[in-house]
């Protein structure tokens, strides 16, 4: 199944260093793949991803992916105003 991946901030740099596409990148993943599985397959730790947008909505990392989903990974430290607008909650 195909998904589209975007990563932001230092996650982009980490993926770039590994030669992994990270900007509107088309990915093929297995059926029943969860976001946490995708994060692992990218060589990232779950704690490196604070929030995940799936089709423009913040979702838990355990969410299962489906055909043509758009996934965006945000690292910790997202600025305050963006946190509010995007639905992220502060500590």
Structure confidence at residue 87 as a pLDDT band (50, 70, 90): low
Residue 91's pLDDT is what? 42
Work out the number of other CB atoms within 10 angstroms of the CB of residue 15.
Answer: 20
Residue 68's pLDDT is what? 97
Global pTM?
0.84
The b-or-e profile of 26-55 (16+ CB within 10 A means b, else e) is ebebeeebebebbbeebebeeeebbbbbbe
Domains annotated for the chain, with CATH where assigned, are 2-86 (3.10.20.30)
Measured between alpha carbons, how far is 46 from 36 in angstroms, rounded to an integer?
7
pLDDT in tens, 18-61: 999 999 999 999 999 999 999 999 999 999 999 999 999 999 99
Structure confidence at residue 2 as a pLDDT band (50, 70, 90): very high
């Amino acid at each position: 199944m195909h998904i589209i991946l975007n990563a932001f901030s230092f996650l982009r740099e980490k993926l770039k260093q590994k030669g992994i596409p990270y900007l509107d990148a088309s990915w093929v993943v297995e059926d029943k793949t969860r976001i946490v599985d995708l994060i692992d397959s990218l060589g990232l730790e779950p704690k490196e991803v604070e929030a995940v947008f799936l089709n423009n909505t913040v979702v838990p990392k355990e969410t299962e992916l489906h055909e043509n989903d758009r996934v965006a990974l945000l690292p910790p430290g997202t600025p305050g105003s963006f946190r509010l607008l995007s639905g992220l909650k502060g500590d």
